[in-house]
Amino acid sequence: MAKLLAGDELKQRASELGISTEGDPIFQSSMGRAPAPEHELQRRVIEAERAIREHRLWIVALVSAFASVVSAATAIIVVLARR
């Protein structure tokens, strides 16, 4: 498992992923929202990275299924051509 980011690195990674670094609106004051606690930002970053990884795996699975169909069709054509 990768090392959890902290501090400025965590905020920079959250920014790269488009994650809000603001806390919950429940804790909003007249000065605006407080920054999210570090553990909350870590959770958000982990969830965003997981979503990206799952999206990539979905594409790989789709390409794999397509390759299997092409392979099966080729095998059927070869068998029928030998008759």
Q: What is the pLDDT of residue 20?
A: 82
Q: What is the pLDDT of residue 35?
A: 76
The whole-number pLDDT of residue 4 equals 81
Position 48 scores a pLDDT of 93
**Torsion sign over Cα 35, 41, 47, 49:** positive
For 4-58, what is each residue's pLDDT tens digit? 888 888 888 988 998 888 776 665 555 666 777 888 889 999 999 999 999 999 9
Report residue 58 CA to chain centroid gap: 11
Q: 69-81: per-residue pLDDT in tens?
A: 999 999 999 999 9
Tokens standing for residue 36: 């999210």
Other Cβ atoms closer than 10 A to 45? 19
71, 39 in Cβ contact below 8 A? Answer: no
Question: How far apart are alpha carbons 52 and 63 in whole angstroms?
Answer: 17
Q: DSSP alpha helices (H): ranges in the chain?
A: 7-17, 38-81
Distance between CA 33 and CA 22 in Å, rounded?
A: 6
